[in-house]
Chains A and B, each alone.
Chain A
């Protein structure tokens, strides 16, 4: 049992070094089995590899939606709530609006660790959150899975464009996901949530796995275009619409421009290198 305890401490030390904190409540039960919880499936895998004899069958993975959440929270007051990568609440990673619904509450380690309905796990100031009952279903909107598409048609594309246009001029802030400030994937997330009543993954490299691949020459209005900032490996995403010249425009939260803009595909590609396109709508003329 001493070896198991030592191995668990080694794991905690590794996770603390990696993340600044180890969100893990692991202990050895009376029968020698490991019990408790870890935050991620990756941590669970590392634990099983470190303790092959310890039968870690009583360890829950907090990020799994099927795991009963320790609690639920809803947003107190008006306006979005900022969520951060670290417990000091200094690195914005996303934002949630009161209308986004309940958050899975995973615990408090100086700040509240919560999971949003688009899968992000991040830290929040407890004073903006208040306990609530578990929702009957969560997420309350369907979450678009890998390779999955949404029902949609030309009318849907028009609605996406109308909605996206209302965001023009919103300042670009990495991690932003609200009307006040927004980043590229946050903009896609907000638009599809509002128009299609569906949730895209929060981050652009995860959004890139939704829908089906479209070649550059076959891109059409309503498709997502992915690109990288030239000379970097920084992923970026925008939404394609038709322009009056028969070509395509890209509406996106531009890091270069510092705000949400709409520009021709040619203008877009002066600063971003094409990385792929995905069709997330399935339907006539979509």
Chain B
């Protein structure tokens, strides 16, 4: 599965066994992406809550 990084537009490959809630890094811009949904695939930029 491939979709577009919301930050830089580069293609992001989602592993076949990816789960909703996983955090993946864009290989191009390194931004953290939150897998909102695995099927259909949807990601959004993840920003951690300040501790």
**A residues in contact (CB < 8 Å) with B:** 174, 205, 208-209, 213, 215-218, 226, 228, 232-235, 273-276
A274: contacting residue among B15, B19, B32, B46, CB under 8 A = B19
Q: A233-B49, A234-B49 are in contact. Are A215 and B23 (CB under 8 A)?
A: no
Asked if A209 and B15 sit within 8 Å, CB to CB, the answer is no
Bound complex: CA A174 to CA B51 (Å) = 8
A274 proximity list for chain B (CB < 8 A): 19, 21-22
Among the interface residues B15, B22, B47, which one has the most CB atoms of the partner chain A within 10 A? B22
Annotate B1-32 by CB proximity to A: 1 below 8 A, 0 otherwise: 00000000000000101110111110000001
Given contacts A216-B17, A274-B21, 7 further A-B contacts (CB under 8 A): A174-B51, A205-B48, A226-B23, A234-B51, A274-B22, A275-B23, A276-B24
By beta carbon, the residue of chain A nearest B19 is A216
Query: How many whole Å from A187's CB to the nearest CB in chain B?
Result: 15
By beta carbon, the residue of chain B nearest A234 is B49
Bound complex: CA A234 to CA B23 (Å) = 12
B15 proximity list for chain A (CB < 8 A): 213, 215
Bound complex: CA A226 to CA B47 (Å) = 15
Chain B contact-residue range equals: 10 to 19
Main secondary structure on chain B at its contact with chain A?
Answer: loop
Annotate B38-51 by CB proximity to A: 1 below 8 A, 0 otherwise: 00000000111101
Bound complex: CA A218 to CA B48 (Å) = 26
By beta carbon, the residue of chain B nearest A273 is B21
Asked if B25 and A234 sit within 8 Å, CB to CB, the answer is no
Asked if B23 and A208 sit within 8 Å, CB to CB, the answer is yes
Q: 11 A-B residue contacts at CB 8 Å? A: A208-B23, A209-B25, A213-B24, A215-B18, A217-B17, A218-B17, A235-B48, A274-B19, A275-B22, A275-B23, A276-B22
Bound complex: CA A114 to CA B32 (Å) = 27
B46 proximity list for chain A (CB < 8 A): 233
Q: A205-B32, A213-B15, A215-B15 are in contact. Are A233 and B47 (CB under 8 A)?
A: yes
Query: How many whole Å from A83's CB to the nearest CB in chain B?
Result: 15
